[in-house]
Amino acid sequence: MNDHPHRRFNPLRQEWVLVSPRRNDRPWQGHVDPAPADAAPPFDPICYLCPGNERARGVRNPRYSSTFAFDNDFAALRPQNAEVRTQSSELRTPNAELRTPNPDDDLLVSRSERGVCRVVCFSPRHDLTLARMATPEIRAVVDRWIDEYASLATMPWVQYALVFENRGPMMGASNPHPHGQIWATETIPNEPAREQEAFARRRSRHGDCLLCAYFGVETRLAERIVCENDAFLAVVPFWAVWPFETLLVSRRHVGAMHELNDTERDALADILRRLITRYDNLFEAPFPYSMGFHQRPIRQTSADDWHLHAHVYPPLLRSATIRKFMVGFELLGSPQRDLTPEDAASRLQAVGEVHYADCTRAGAPR
């Protein structure tokens, strides 16, 4: 099967992905991105995330020495929404369903949405990334994520908190300083809501957790595992869409990050550093990606239908300057990938966990 075009089913999204194993052999005369920039300095006096610097709205950062979080100065959502008027100027309160003047038309529907957008700086060092930070430093980031989640959960209207990072200009990062974001919303976003339905469907039909069952299969086959430790497993999922996409799954069935014990939090820091180092080593360049943690909705008390996991979606395909484009059939038909997940996993397995920059400086083997 792996040598021929075929489809694979994604049970989390309830959709199919087309796998075209030989398509990556085609000659490339398309768009080539600029090579990644040279290493950044430890401190940038014009960076609005560095300690002590002034941000765009005039607020000055404290001279922080570990992690630092603040409300996004250009937030996509606000915790208070003004009352909104429909096209007929009828006054509607926040959260009320908004329609066009025709009450029988259910095709044009909108709804107010509140939210809080937080920025989390991972380090005071402008030149670091998660791959270049020590495990205890990443553990501080994990603790900050958990503290932020707990604080957002005290707001009675917040239903979900999504922890994520966009790394690199190719993924739309507006600043190279190591940072991520947390968006808290009063509704469950589309992707977690879809996964919640998948978890519930699996529980109803088979009486077990979807990701616990999947974890067991991947452990038994040992084909797509990239790296692992006592508490987490990083795997190129059987149904991956992006060329080097990975799924990070907790071994213990926990629904949210704050349920991790002290040892598991250390393990999460460890596997993040190791996984992202492997990404950087693949093309010996800073590897762009979007990474986000999916966990149980804040107001949901039962942990049965949720299993903590993270998705890592990197766009690179052939090199540090050639990416995968989701166009044509991918946009209008079904998702499609150009190499098998097994091939992607074997390449990530082969590169090792000593960062290429350290090998270059010291001449050390990986």
Mean pLDDT in each 10-residue stretch from start to end of the chain (366 residues)? 86 95 67 74 96 95 98 93 46 49 72 95 97 97 97 96 93 90 97 96 95 97 97 98 97 96 98 97 94 94 84 91 87 93 96 90 56
Tokens of 44: 């940038």
Q: Are strands 179-185 and 160-167 parallel, antiparallel or unpaired?
A: antiparallel
SS3 (DSSP) at 97: strand
Per the annotation, the verdict on 4 as an active-site residue is: no
> What is the pLDDT, as a whole number, of residue 251?
97
Closest Cα to residue 156, out of 299, 295, 297?
299
Tokens 């768009």, residue?
A: 31
Cβ partners under 8 Å of residue 252, min gap 6 = 231, 264
> What is the pLDDT, as a whole number, of residue 103?
61
> What is the pLDDT, as a whole number, of residue 180?
97
Of the listed 126, 177, 179, 307, which one is catalytic?
Answer: 179
> What is the pLDDT, as a whole number, of residue 89?
38
- Domains of the chain in start order, with CATH, are 6-41+190-360 (3.30.428.10)
The DSSP H or E segment spanning 289 is strand 289-294
> What is the pLDDT, as a whole number, of residue 86?
41
pTM for the model stands at 0.91
Tokens of 335: 């998702």
HSE toward the beta carbon, residue 16, CA cutoff 13 A: 9
